Amino acid sequence: MTQTEILPDPPHRIGWALAALVVAGNMIGSGVYLLPATLAPTGSSSIIGWLICGLGAVTLALVFGGLGRMQPDADGLSDFTRRGMGRFIGYQTGLAYWAACLAGNVALAVAGTGYLAFFIPALKEPLWAALSNLALIWLTSAAYASGARTAARFGAITLGLGLIPIILAIIAGAMAFSGDTFAASWSPGDQPLLKTVPASLAIIFWAFLGVESAAALSSLVRNPAVDVGRASLGGVALAFIVYVAASIAVFGVIPADVLVHSTSPYADLVARVMGSSVAGLVAACAVIKVLGTIAGWTMLAGETSRGAAEAGWMPRWFGGAQKGKTPLSNPILNCVVMSAMVVASAQPTLGQQFGVLIGVTSVLTLCLYALCSITLWRLTKKSGWRAMAVVGVVFSAFAVAAAAGGYILPSVGFFALTSLAWLWVRKRQTV
């Protein structure tokens, strides 16, 4: 490997087990660490949203497994949709998924900074928080620059460490669980479930973003026809069990009106039950896990932009000089874009910044999930796969429709902008 290239070495592609850990790792940590505080206004009734989104995630895992089986030689999500719906949709998928990965990474950095603030309270201030976010992004971009397999292994290792705080929180929650506390937090604003649950879906589904990771990395998976499906289902199953147990534990111990102000919910939960020394371990493991998750999403962003560059949809700086080879300029440019997002998305509190980023990222990605489901429909004549595709489209559309307008409008603006840019891309490719 030269200093200017990241080579996805074919003989050493990742197997389904490592791919499943990448899927789970990209979800666990991206959603579970700060979401309890973000969902505090909804209260413990958010458990209904977790169940709905979990079923939707399983359906989407089957959709991506079907795409992997039918198109094992596809190069990521944009290549799937290009084959099923044409170049324009493939182009939109590539750019939208790239943007979603980068925006999601900034949200992850915010979550990591929230747990670092457990040790360094000054990081709760906007300026110091922004500097911490930048440091986390630069560090994990360096991990991807050293190679895709390095980033994948780093994510798998940190997943094990990242489960420590969640397991401790679940144990602490079981020890101190209060049915009265859980019931009192059911609906903090006394709003009906038909209003609170649908509104929370876009935020909750953030925790399941990553179900497509194996499909997005299909060019790096050893046997895409089989391994994409196995990895997707395995990763979703692990994440779903962890999410439901952890959510019940937090709301059964910490009142919703207290939880809403937390920057490190699981550390706070463990501190209440096991003491501040154990809470410090929880916060430290959470930071390590967030680093691994950022590394995984940085890899997804890099591979997506590399594929888009090879298709002529993005500048050659992201790839394309040699097929399958990612230049060093790719992670550098992605790091610069994420750094700009850190500054542009700054909010008075970490929780507010996290909420804005995950809402927009969820809506944008759910739109792509709908496109992938439609692609599955177009690529197969089998009724079973087509039924799964229909359910995937319905779920994605429902989750987007339930989202707040402030999350939908930025996605509409993004697709409008990329549609205009398509005119320039087409003109350049026909010259």
- Segment 351-393, tens digit of pLDDT: 566 667 777 778 888 899 999 999 999 999 899 999 999 999 9
Return d(Cα 347, Cα 125) in angstroms, integer.
Answer: 10
- Segment 175-206, tens digit of pLDDT: 999 999 999 888 887 778 887 787 677 678 77
Residue linked to tokens 């990395």: 217
Return d(Cα 53, Cα 48) in angstroms, integer.
Answer: 9
CB 239 within 8 A of CB 207: yes
Return d(Cα 93, Cα 100) in angstroms, integer.
Answer: 10
Please name the residues in contact with 312: beta carbons below 8 A apart, sequence gap of 6 or more. Answer: 320, 425, 428, 429
- Write the single-letter amino acid at 45: S
pLDDT at 7: 38
- Segment 204-227, tens digit of pLDDT: 877 787 788 778 777 777 888 888
The closest of 289, 284, 319 to 301, measured between CA atoms, is: 319
Helices 193-204, 350-379: axis angle to 10 degrees equals 80
**332 — pLDDT class (breaks 50, 70, 90):** very high
**1 — pLDDT class (breaks 50, 70, 90):** very low
- CA distances 166 to 154, 242, 247, 393, Å, are 19, 8, 10, 32
Which neighbouring-strand residues pair with 6? 326
pLDDT at 324: 67
pLDDT at 277: 76
| 328-333 average pLDDT score | 90
**148 — pLDDT class (breaks 50, 70, 90):** low
Q: Which residue has the higher pLDDT, 281 or 4?
A: 281
pLDDT at 4: 36
**3 — pLDDT class (breaks 50, 70, 90):** very low
Q: Which residue has the higher pLDDT, 152 or 370?
A: 370
Which neighbouring-strand residues pair with 14? 221
Instruction: Determine the straight-line distance between the first and last CA of the chain, rounded to whole angstroms.
Output: 34
Return d(Cα 178, Cα 182) in angstroms, integer.
Answer: 6
Return d(Cα 255, Cα 260) in angstroms, integer.
Answer: 9
The closest of 23, 37, 29, 16 to 353, measured between CA atoms, is: 37
- Segment 243-283, tens digit of pLDDT: 888 889 999 999 888 888 887 788 888 888 888 777 777 77
Judge: domain 10-430, CATH 1.20.1740.10: yes
Q: Taking all residues of the chain, what is their mean pLDDT, rounded to a whole number?
A: 82
